Structure 1
Amino acid sequence: MVDVPRYAVLFRTHTWDSFVERQFFRLQSLIGQGDLFVVVNNTSGKTRIPDTLRVVEFQESDFAKMGLADGGEGNLMWYNVDYALYFFMNIYNDYDYYVLFEYDVRGNVNFDELIKKVHDNRSDLVGVTASGAFNKWWFFRSCVGVYEEKELVKTFLQIGIFSRRAVSLLLRRRLEMSEQFRAGMLKNWPHCEAFIPIEIRKAGYRFSDLSSYVNVNRYSHEPAYLEEDTDFLEENEIMHPVLDTKRYILSTIRYEGRPEKFFIPSSSFGKKLRRFPISSYGVPLFHALKKRARLLFSLLGEKIFSYRIGRIRKIREEF
């Protein structure tokens, strides 16, 4: 038996249905000596997890009790995925490594071997470093006034591996920043995918990229992959996002900025949808087209208005 550090895998979800259950058991088949938990955001009170599984359940109000600020825009747990990690560690603080694993990730990985390699490499954080200019990232402004521009980095953490000391450090820093935020000393609240890798590096802890251990060629925030298209993953591969049919259709439409491309026979967008009955995508596609039409008419109206104002000014100048 391989000598593996103690590790816990946190299967993160906010819902439970047949797809999420399939994803859970797929993950379970990859874990040898580690402990697997369902870590569920049950703020709605409606999520029911089978009693046979190990579950850690929380509500968003629990974080205020821990001293963590209600920081960020939109969904609290989407903006602060690290909060679930702190909540879990307050209950189970004796693991060497903690693995965050979102319910829409799918892998073909031996976790015992992966964790041993991470440990042998003395890594405190493992994630996927995002490419591209950081200042084009939507959450760039969340770091303004908190970090220097040279420190900025973004890391995808749909699967993230943390050492125990890394989680302790991050919790301590979040609590310190929470006090500053509530006192008005901190004007912005850094998004978790910036906060986590920046703080790890500032502390002198070791970061390593997930690509050093597994194949992440099909791992990003989009495009989505249909569940049945991923039944034959390559060995040692991680994919994200993997979705069932309904979620896949909604994701495909959501990330298409020009849904009118559906009517172009050669478009990949149209081909992705037309593999399904029109009854499964007709309504969300209609809403996307309607939203797009409103945007185009609004832009057209602005151009016409600007043109008329320009003409009026020119006529006045002539007189």
Structure 2
Amino acid sequence: MKTAIIFKTHIWDNIVERNFLLCKENSKNSDIFIIFDPVLGRPLPEKYQKEEKVFLVPYSDIEKLGLEYGMDERRGGYWYNGDYHQNLFILSHPEYDYICSVENDVATHLSIDDIFSQMAAKNVDVIYHPQTQPNEQWSHLEGSIGYTDTSEYIHKGLFCVSFFSRRAAFYILRRRMEMSHLKREKGLSTWPIGETVMVHEPVQAGMNVDLLINYCDHLQMYDWAPCYLECEEISAEGRTFIHPVTNLNNKFIISNFYQDYHAMFSEMEVIEGKSRHRARIINDLEIYSRLFNSVHAQWSPDRWEPILQDAETYLNKDGKEILGGKNILGSENIMIPAAQNPHHIDKIFTSALPNWDQRYAVSLQPDEIMHVVIPEQAQCLTAIIGTTQDNILENMRAVRSDNENLEIEYRKSWRGMHFFSVNIPSGTNAFCIKALSFSLDLYSLRVISNDDFT
């Protein structure tokens, strides 16, 4: 039995490299190919070009076959047609009995070779992870109109990891060719997304289809979202796939703090303690801060207090130095320009942890002034300002109520956020912050006692 793995990628970074090596380690009896678009992707490292099997898939090769893009070019390409990489591959390598398609953000923690063996023993044609929502709740239903009976249930799934027999792979290609002819012949504006073609068409043809979970211990961290970090994989014991895995980058932040789908800020994840558990594993100031300040965590103290406690306990020296201590400001201590949203005051100025969310940043225009009143009895204080602007030393002035300038010093940077300190002498009862020549974006301002410095 000949088996092949096609590792699909258009980028190459430390996570993609790690995922590739994991995949390779778990498929020693199979040939592994890096499937790469040389037009859209950045060049592969020379080492991998020389030492690994690389199969190039420029989209021009798809056009030469006469396969359609999709509903329009913006929704076409390899994103909408997830089967097209393997279509090109099997035409060039029909000798393989079974193939496995693996996306670059999948971490493989089980033997792919074992799955191939079980697949052959059970005469299975397709292994995939299903999406089980009814047709009317599926966002891609429209694309199937004109190609299949949409009044009947349409099989669909996630194909981040998927397995195909030679028979199934060539049948999918055949159906795509037939669909392309039908689209042109009838002038159809619709086009089925690959995630349904790769399973619905084999099912309709009577092929033997099985579920990915039947070959794993669990798939607790396998879905289209949220993103996970490499350090979180230690909590995923047993034989499993993890998807998507990425670096702590913008993609990770969006999927965990803006997309409300099993994300770190999602309500059930917060209530059940899953978010806190993940934050402790990641142990990063930005993650603690975003989770602490999120709407569902702030709903009640029993949700946000444990997160704050973890941040104060487990953060490393750099993170604790940025915090400095407990914020003594309340909303009554802040007076901001009338144009600003008062709701943002708590997020920016009274939070125990810095704000990282641009939606709540306060922007001071040139010559605008924000007043800060020091609570009574407070002495020997430091104000810690957070902003994404690294040049505020030349654009911001901090002034006491007696017009004495306060010294502003750079403190530390943390993943795109720059923190500055303002020393507030004993006896100061108020000070103001003023933008000078251009707008000043304030993400956080915390006033702490110097006695709290860690």
Q: Is the structural similarity TM-score above 0.5?
A: yes
Partner of 1:128: 129
* 1:6 and 1:34 in contact (8 A); partners too: yes
**Over the residues paired in the alignment, what is the CA RMSD in angstroms?**
3.0
* 1:253 and 1:284 in contact (8 A); partners too: no
Partner of 1:71: 70
1:221-240, aligned counterparts within 5 Å? Answer: 221-231=224-234, 233-240=236-243
Q: Structure 1 9/45 Cα, relative in aligned 2: closer, same or farther at 3 Å?
A: closer
Offset of residue 71 of structure 1: 1.4
Q: Structure 1 168/263 Cα, relative in aligned 2: closer, same or farther at 3 Å?
A: closer
1:39-58, aligned counterparts within 5 Å? Answer: 39-44=35-40, 46-49=42-45, 50-51=48-49, 52-58=51-57
Offset of residue 232 of structure 1: 5.2
Instruction: Select between 196-205 and 49-58 the one with higher mean Cα deviation.
Output: 49-58
Deviations for 1:102-130, whole angstroms, at most 9, x for unmatched residues?
Answer: 11111211122111111111111000111
Partner of 2:252: 248
Match of 1:32 among 24, 28, 31: 28
Q: If the length of structure 1 is used for normalisation, what is the TM-score?
A: 0.79
Q: Structure 1 47/256 Cα, relative in aligned 2: closer, same or farther at 3 Å?
A: farther
1:75-94, aligned counterparts within 5 Å? Answer: 75-94=76-95
1:8-19, aligned counterparts within 5 Å? Answer: 8-19=4-15
Deviations for 1:269-300, whole angstroms, at most 9, x for unmatched residues?
Answer: 9x6xx88979xxx99942x679xxxxxxxxxx
Offset of residue 16 of structure 1: 0.8
- Secondary structure of 2:152's aligned partner: helix
Q: How many residues align?
A: 281
* 2:221 and 2:236 in contact (8 A); partners too: no
Does 1:141 pair with 2:142?
yes
Deviations for 1:188-209, whole angstroms, at most 9, x for unmatched residues?
Answer: 1111111221110111111101
Distance across 2 between alignment mates of 1:285 and 1:154: 35
* 2:224 and 2:244 in contact (8 A); partners too: yes
1:206 maps to a residue whose letter is N
Partner of 1:155: 157
2:18 maps to a residue whose letter is R
- Secondary structure of 1:150's aligned partner: coil
- Secondary structure of 1:251's aligned partner: helix
- Secondary structure of 1:157's aligned partner: strand
2:82 maps to a residue whose letter is V
Distance across 1 between alignment mates of 2:355 and 2:7: 32
Offset of residue 158 of structure 1: 0.5
- Secondary structure of 2:102's aligned partner: strand
* 1:127 and 1:208 in contact (8 A); partners too: yes
Instruction: Select between 73-82 and 112-121 the one with higher mean Cα deviation.
Output: 73-82
Distance across 2 between alignment mates of 1:220 and 1:35: 26
Distance across 1 between alignment mates of 2:158 and 2:15: 23
Q: Structure 1 221/107 Cα, relative in aligned 2: closer, same or farther at 3 Å?
A: same
Q: Structure 1 283/192 Cα, relative in aligned 2: closer, same or farther at 3 Å?
A: farther
Considering fraction of residues, name the structure with more strand. Answer: 2
Q: Structure 1 178/265 Cα, relative in aligned 2: closer, same or farther at 3 Å?
A: closer
- Secondary structure of 2:170's aligned partner: helix
1:1-319, aligned counterparts within 5 Å? Answer: 5-44=1-40, 46-49=42-45, 50-51=48-49, 52-72=51-71, 74-148=75-149, 149-214=151-216, 215-231=218-234, 233-246=236-249, 247-256=251-260, 262-264=293-295, 266=297, 285-286=357-358
Q: Structure 1 231/11 Cα, relative in aligned 2: closer, same or farther at 3 Å?
A: farther
Distance across 1 between alignment mates of 2:117 and 2:140: 33
Q: Which has the higher contact order (CA 8 A, sep 6+)?
A: 1
2:81 maps to a residue whose letter is N
Distance across 1 between alignment mates of 2:6 and 2:355: 35
Distance across 2 between alignment mates of 1:35 and 1:283: 48
Q: Which runs of 5+ in 2 are unaligned?
A: 267-289, 323-353, 362-454
Offset of residue 185 of structure 1: 4.3
Deviations for 1:151-193, whole angstroms, at most 9, x for unmatched residues?
Answer: 4121111001000011111111101111121233434111111
* 1:101 and 1:159 in contact (8 A); partners too: yes
User: % of aligned pairs identical?
Assistant: 25
The structure 1 segments of at least 4 consecutive aligned residues displaced by more than 6 Å after TM superposition are 257-261, 274-278
2:238 maps to a residue whose letter is E
Distance across 1 between alignment mates of 2:56 and 2:87: 13
| Larger Cα-atom Rg | 2
Instruction: Select between 242-251 and 23-32 the one with higher mean Cα deviation.
Output: 242-251
Instruction: Select between 246-255 and 81-90 the one with higher mean Cα deviation.
Output: 246-255
Q: Structure 1 186/116 Cα, relative in aligned 2: closer, same or farther at 3 Å?
A: same
Partner of 1:296: none
Deviations for 1:204-238, whole angstroms, at most 9, x for unmatched residues?
Answer: 11110111111223211112222111145322211
Q: Which runs of 5+ in 1 are unaligned?
A: 291-319
Offset of residue 34 of structure 1: 0.4
